[in-house]
Structure formats: structure tokens, C-alpha cells
Amino acid sequence: MTTATAAPVAHDVPRARFTDLIAAEWLKTWSLRSTPWLYALSALAVVAFNAGTAYDHYKYWYQYDKGSQEFFVTHRLALVDAFTDNSALVLVLALAAIGAVSVTGEYGTGLVRTTFTAVPARRSVMAAKVLVLAAVTTVFGVFVAAVSFASTRAILSGRGASVPLGDPGVLQVLAASALLAPVAALAGLALGTVVRHTGASVVACVVVLLLLPMVLSDRRHLTAVLRHALPFSAWDRLTGGALPQPPPELFPWSEAGAWTVYALWALVAAAVAVCAVHRRDQ
Amino acid sequence: MIEVNGLTKRYGGAIAVDDLTFTVRPGEVTGFLGPNGAGKTTTLRMLLGLVEPTAGTATVRGRPFRDHPRGLRHVGALLDAGDVHGGRTARAHLAVLARSNGIPRARVDEILDEVGLAAAARRRVAGFSLGMRQRLGIATALLGDPPVLLFDEPLNGLDPEGVLWVRGLFRRLAAEGRTVFVSSHLMTEMENTADQLVVIGRGALIAAESLSAFAARSTRLSVTVRTPDAATLAPLLTAEGASVTADGDRLAVTGLPAERIGELALRHRVLLHELTTLGASLEEAFMELTADSVQYLAGDPR
């Protein structure tokens, strides 16, 4: 071993493929024991809140007077039970935290330096992370929305108060609730990427995604506009709008506007997560 | 080949790395020495593009490292053994990295075996000792079979067997023609491993030269000589300008290199039982040269 061989040439380096990064992020997601647990517990909580509300209506059905029972059926309030406010709150909180931790977990442990040394194309890493997170949480959202709808429908059909899948508005409630999951997760990912600290980014998620829509009044034009720009309000608008008699709004806004809020939050969050890592020291 | 040119990093008013210029050549192990806080880690992070220099350039084989979309086949690095997620198994950690760089899955088990972690491959890293994490970090660095390797304090936490293994590994990697750049704050870790040294203090370059040239800088070069004829040898050495302390058949000589002492003994037919350059001389050279630049001095009244 005295004669040093010629310095090893960077042997036929295969072309960098983005699909490899997606596969790596997929592996990264599922190689943590906490991932399936977090998703399972979140799903359980969301479905339990919905099914629980439906069961409450089922159980105490005969304590309502005739008029209330009729109102429940004609106004298709089964759609409200299909995805309740409480469930939406839990969904946003859980998914935003999952999104934030998917990146702060790397910062907190120092893994991010290993990751960015292995893949100096940092924006590609984050883009792969965004895609994997969006895909997994969309599947999650569709799953919890479908299970919530199926379970609440089965429960309320015992009182003849259920709404079939084909009814107008049902798909909108399901889609708005299912897509709230990836929107919240991507917002969490973006906040986590900027804040880089688990605790602080979860607090930021709670403030931006849950607290703001509660404190911003919809009775003044300015605050109403700000409020309408938030994903939780958009969910509220889309699910409320699916009812035969939507709740009245002082400053009405269109469903298309609410869908646009969803899309913009997802796109801006993805862009922030991808771009924030490029220039900053790691 | 690593080339660092005028590399500077400033954090606000504090200067972490100050106009560093040096070259690290392939085929040798180069030690990167400096007291705690000297700027070694910041320099390595700038080499890897993790930290943006305030001024100057750092290139690996002629290109800034960040120009490569994937890194593992170009530079292998162990920055901090803690830079892993404790929730993953050793195998999963490496599998993720391998996948991101298009490295075949089989390489993961091969490298786990090579670093002695085959038995722990399915265990979660959170349960690993520091030594095991160092081995995992070394596995990460070796994963892409890269021509350039950077190690930041790789010997921390390793048991004696592990230290020997790492030293042998570095020598082997260098003999294969790779560039091996190893940081340490302990001279003793380097003296049996490195051929070349880059020494910094307070972010500035102190020396970039071979180990032997560096050792010769010490004004208190010390050599232990054991001879049954100490009475004859001692005056000869003193006559050459050395200062000699005798202790039975053992002489502690300063101010004269071992080669010269050997020559004198041969010429005057003095039998030698031992002729050892004390390891401390390197350590002393290091201490002397970095004395002005130690940042966190115990008992420093500031």
C-alpha cells in the first residue's frame, strides 16, 4: 500500500433523479415509528368527534320535539355531523403539527446537515418533502372524511336522518374536509421550515391556523377579509355552503373564493418551504 | 484535493474564520488542528456549503461542493455523530441517504458490516453509544465511496479498539489515493495518523505543513535516551548544545533531534537501548503555537 493509486475519479456518477429524492423522503417518513402512530391517533380523534356527535343526536333524538327533528332532516344537518367543527380543529392542529415536525425533527436532531450534505440541492429535498407530505396527508384526509361520513351516516340512518352520498353538497363537505388535511400539513411544514424549532413552530401553527380565525371578527370589513383568507374559515365557508340554508354572512364570499384560499395556502406554503432553505446557513 | 482561499466567516462583529488559505492533497491524511472554538467546524461547514462564507472560496476537486446536486459520491463527511434522527434504525438512516443519491441498497449492509455495526443495524440510533454513533457517521461518510472525506472529531467516544480501527481506516483511505481531512483539538490524536497538518487558532491559519516540520517548531524538542553508558553519552550531547537530565540509565534530552543523537552514539560507539522522540514534543509545539489563540482558557480572567 505504498504506491498511492491515482485519486479515485468520481466514478460514473448516475444522473441525479428527483424520483430518488421522493423515494428517500417516503422512506424517511415511514422509517419513524411515530409516523403511523401520529396518523392513526389523529384519524381516531377526528372520526371519534364526528361519530360521537352523530351518536349524541341518535341517542337523544326523541328528546327533540317534532319540529326540531324535522328541521334536522330538511336542513340536512347530518352534513354537519359528517364533519364537525371540533373534528376540523383537531384535524388542523394534528396535521399542522405533523407537517411542522417533519422538518423541525431534522433541525432539532441535526439530521438536516447530514441531509443537505448528502443532497446539496436543498430545494429539491424540500420539494420532495412537500410532495410526499401532500400525498400522504391527502390520502389521510380522504380516509378520515370517508370514514366520518360512512360512520355518521350509518348512525343517523337509525333515525331516518342520514343523507346519501349522492345528495347535493355531500361531496363538497367531504372534499373540503379531506383537503383541509394537506393544506394544514403544508402550512405546518412551511412554518417549521422558517422557525426551525418544534415547540415554537407548533405554537405558530396554533396561532395562525386556529387562533386567528377565532379572534378576527367577521362583523367588520377589514377583519372579515383577513379572516376569509384563512384556511379554517375557508373550510367553514365550504361546509356551511353545502347546507340547503347556509349560515348568513355579513360580508358574503363565494365558494370559488374559499377554494382559492385552499389552493393559495398550499402553493404559498410549498413555495416558502422550498425557498427558505436555499440561502440560509444550516 | 481541497482548496481553501481567503475563507472568512463573520457572525455580526465576531470573526469565526479569518482569511484561511490552505490546500489538502490526495493520498495523505491531513490533520486539521485547533483549540476549541478555533473555527474548525465552521470551516468544514463552509467546505460543504452548509454555511455561506462572508468572503473567500472553498472548492473540492476544483468545484464548490454545492454545485453537485448529489453529494455522497463526491465528498463523504462526518460532521457530528449526533446529526441523525434517534427514531430511525441505523439501516433505515443509511437507506434513506443511499436512496437520495441513487446508491444501491446492498451498499448499506456492506458498509454497516465494514464499520462493525452489522449486529446493531436494526436498532434505533437513540439507543446507540457515542462510539456507535461515530461508527454510523463514518458509515455515512463512506456510503458513496467518495474520493474526498471530511471528519470532524471522529475519535470522540471511540474505545481503544475503535481508535485503532479508525486510524487504520484513514491510512487505508489515503493510500487508496483519497483526500482525507480530519479535524481534532488533540495533537495526540493526530500524531499517529496524519501526514500533513493544518493548524488554526481563533479562525486564522497558524501552520500548514508536514507533521515532522511542525514537530521541529517546538523549542523544547524532547528525546528520551536509554543507554548503559549514560556517563559517556551525556557530555557528548551537552557539547552539541543539548540540555540533558540524567536519571540512572535514562537521559531526557532537549534541543537535539533523535537523528543527531543516534549519529553521535554510533560515532562514539555508545550502545543505545532506547531512542524515543517524546510525543509531548508535538503536543508542546501545538500548545506553544496556539497559546496566543486559545479562546476558552481555564482560569482566564476576562
The full set of domains in chain B, from first to last, is: 2-210 (3.40.50.300), 222-285 (3.30.70)
pLDDT in tens, B131-188: 999 999 999 999 999 999 999 999 988 999 999 999 999 999 999 999 999 999 888 8
Indicate the number of domains in chain A: 1
B50 contacts in chain A (CB < 8 Å): 113, 116-117, 281-282
Give the domain range for residue A112.
33-279
Contacts B176 to A, Cβ<8 Å: 4-5, 8
Q: Which of A148-152, B125-129, B195-199, B294-298 has the lowest mean pLDDT?
A: B294-298
pLDDT tens-place string over residues B80-101? 999 999 999 999 999 999 999 9
- Residue B89 backbone class (left: φ over 0; alpha: ψ -120 to 50; beta: rest): beta
Q: Quick check: is A248 in a domain? A: yes
> Closest partner residue to B96 among A1, A28, A116, by Cβ?
A28
Structure confidence at residue B211 (pLDDT) = 85
Residues 151 through 210 of chain B touching chain A, CB cutoff 8 Å: 172, 174-179
Contact call for B80 and A110, based on CB within 8 A: yes
Give me the residues of A, 214-233, that contact B with CB < 8 A. none
ipTM confidence score:
0.91
Q: Is B64 on the interface with A (CB under 8 A)?
A: no
Q: Let me know if B157 is exposed, middle or buried by CB neighbors in 10 A (0-12, 13-18, 19+).
A: middle
pLDDT for the residue numbered B241: 83
Question: Residue A25: closest CA among chain B residues belongs to which residue?
Answer: B96
Q: Chain A: give the shortest CA distance to residue B257, in Å.
A: 26
Closest CA to B294 of B212, B209, B206, B218: B206
For the record, the C-alpha cell of A145 comes out as: 372524511
Give the pLDDT of residue B221. 63
DSSP string, B89-135: BHHHHHHHHHHHTT--THHHHHHHHHTT-GGGTTSBGGG--HHHHHH
Residue A118's pLDDT is 97
pLDDT in tens, A41-86: 999 999 999 999 999 999 999 999 999 999 999 999 999 999 999 9
> Å from A143 to nearest chain B CA?
26
Q: Is the pLDDT of residue B111 over 60?
A: yes
- Answer whether residue A82 is part of any domain: yes
Closest CA of chain B from A218, distance in Å: 44
Answer yes or no: is A11 within a domain: no
Mean pLDDT of chain B: 90
User: Is the pTM here over 0.90, yes or no?
Assistant: no
Q: Which of A7, A110, A120 sits opposite B66 (nearest CB)?
A: A120
Judge whether A1 lies within some domain: no
**A4/B69 CB distance under 8 A:** no
pLDDT over 80 (residue A2)? no
Query: Is residue A22 in some structural domain?
Result: no
Relative orientation angle of helices A85-109 and A231-240, to the nearest 10 degrees: 150
Residue A41 covered by a domain: yes
pLDDT band at B296 (very low <50, low <70, confident <90, very high): low
Give yes or no for A105 touching B (CB within 8 A): yes
- Closest residue in A to B67 (Cα) is A120
Are A105 and B147 within 8 A, CB to CB? no
Residue A12 within any structural domain of the chain? no
Q: Is B111 on the interface with A (CB under 8 A)?
A: no
CB contact under 8 A, B87 and A114: no
Query: Which residues, numbered 235 to 274 in chain B, qualify as contacts with chain A under a Cβ-Cβ cut-off of 8 Å?
Result: none
A43 in a structural domain: yes
pLDDT band at A273 (very low <50, low <70, confident <90, very high): very high
| Count, residues in chain A | 282
Contact status of A48 with chain B (Cβ, < 8 Å): no
The answer to whether A118 contacts B97, with C-beta atoms less than 8 Å apart, is yes
User: Which among B289, B279, B268 is positioned nearest to B218, based on CA atoms?
Assistant: B289
CA dihedral over B154, B160, B166, B171, signed as positive or negative: positive
